[in-house]
Structure 1
């Protein structure tokens, strides 16, 4: 049973609510359930050490990653063409690993855990298998910031390939370099060499199977590459609210930390045993201070335990 509207929000109740809204089985991932596990390499840039001393970003390493689609995404009610995409990756070696979660929108759909639970409860399917749209609209009117992610996806149609998608980290991470200087950064993954390649009409991108077939064919034909960028903070940037973008985020200064090269696919079981827990960060990249990051750390661990 989904939690009642009066339930206090906890990471466990969020996991239950995500699965209830998405119609997902008990052992499925609570979010970004449809995915493809891949492998590759990471090569740092000369500038990486100016931003962070984290050896996961300043040293070459192997990469295990997962492209995904949020097939249970509550923002996708009536909007199949705008399913949120995800890209999770692990850099570094034992004891110096960082696991970063990015998605195809630069903001999250809730500011707090309580707001996220209420957002999901408003979208619980009724006896007909559909949410009560009057209830959804009433919640949205009272919580307009919860529409920002869906609005971004509607205004920025996705390319028909995961390899051509820009992925964003919605959290502000404190990054410390070898000089002991700390500033906030946001992660952005930009596809390399794909800008001029033709894609199918975006309407075909709603099929997870088509996205997966396209990705596998591109990897088989040649490497798929992404620049790992760090967007640099400015005084006054909001770091506690993941529903808000930094001012001029698309045009502000960014540093290329390195390049991820996807060289092959892996059996999905290689990623299914992992959670890509955002709590795993090598020294030099700290935990973001916002409430949703703390909740996400716990929720991912709970979801992994339920899948076993």
Structure 2
């Protein structure tokens, strides 16, 4: 069991807190530890070049991806409180980009200090559970840290990795060939639409059903997602990952391309090729928020491997 953090805000202390709060053993990822590696292809749309000159998004390429469930290693796939994730790598040598997305459009903390406080409030006590009073006190003082849980809690359990919408919570500066730069958010939408379960259906599912379902779907045929770019408007909160852009679900979006998942891959392929959010090819810049900077450092130090 990792030692609880000391309160010093560093990427390392945040990772230690993540593992302590979720009972995560050493040698595994601090978040989204349970997953399945996949391979496929990416086909750009005719409009991708309007948004970015980044060759990761404007040229066809192979895809390495990983579908995941966050939370305790022992949690069931049907647990609606757990985020689902989809990380993927586009492009080839010299213009690769790694994009990390999740099944909620916001993060649970605005700054690294707030993130550490959120995790410390949820440290397990002698009985193995967090103190509800500490969680309530922190939430009352930091109401924005509840936005992610509110979003997840309001949605029915997902029925499939292949039928889940995933968001990139950060605002990325995208520059096209004309030198025009604007902020975008990534959204990965299942071509067949979202697939959900009733509460009774979820309770009847086996613990690893999402992983089994993915393998069955890929064996029966490819799994497809539209990679979308949500376009910014003046005044959008690009520095705060705990809140959505106004009218985000109905604003202008451009389909950058289609991700086609064609086969399951050995998980060590994704363990070896760590997805690094700072790995961005020319034409897509690093987001300006504090959480991205801390996340980038943690992955660079391989703290989240």
TM class by shorter chain equals over 0.9
Alignment TM-score, normalising by the size of structure 2:
0.94
1:167 is aligned to 166
Distance 1:8 1:206, change over 3 A: farther
Say if 1:172 and 1:186, in contact at 8 Å, map to a contact too.
yes
CA deviation profile, 1:79-126 (whole Å, cap 9, x unmatched): 932210100000000110000000000000000000000100000001
2:11 is aligned to 11
Shift of 1:155: 1.0
Q: Counterparts of 1:81 and 1:199 in 2: how far apart (Å)? A: 10
2:247 is aligned to 248
1:21 is aligned to 21
Taking the TM superposition and a 5 Å limit, the aligned residue runs for 1:134-213 are 134-194=133-193, 203-204=202-203, 209-213=208-212
1:250 is paired with a residue whose SS is: helix
Say if 2:14 and 2:116, in contact at 8 Å, map to a contact too.
yes
Distance 1:132 1:207, change over 3 A: farther
Say if 1:42 and 1:259, in contact at 8 Å, map to a contact too.
yes
Say if 1:26 and 1:306, in contact at 8 Å, map to a contact too.
no
1:71 is paired with a residue whose SS is: coil
2:68 is aligned to 68
Count of aligned pairs between the two proteins: 299
Q: Counterparts of 1:199 and 1:215 in 2: how far apart (Å)? A: 15
Distance 1:207 1:173, change over 3 A: farther
Alignment partner of 1:2 is 2:4:
yes
Shift of 1:205: 8.9
Alignment partner of 1:112 is 2:114:
no
Shift of 1:3: 1.3
Say if 2:159 and 2:196, in contact at 8 Å, map to a contact too.
no
Q: Counterparts of 2:117 and 2:158 in 1: how far apart (Å)? A: 31
Say if 1:43 and 1:260, in contact at 8 Å, map to a contact too.
yes
Shift of 1:157: 2.0
Shift of 1:211: 0.5
Taking the TM superposition and a 5 Å limit, the aligned residue runs for 1:27-66 are 27-66=27-66
Alignment partner of 1:90 is 2:92:
no
Taking the TM superposition and a 5 Å limit, the aligned residue runs for 1:271-286 are 271-286=270-285
Alignment TM-score, normalising by the size of structure 1:
0.93
Q: Unmatched 5+ residue regions in structure 2?
A: none
Q: Counterparts of 1:146 and 1:124 in 2: how far apart (Å)? A: 16
Shift of 1:147: 0.3
Say if 2:156 and 2:196, in contact at 8 Å, map to a contact too.
no
Q: Unmatched 5+ residue regions in structure 1?
A: none
1:232 is aligned to 231
Shift of 1:189: 0.3
2:260 is aligned to 261
2:218 is aligned to 219
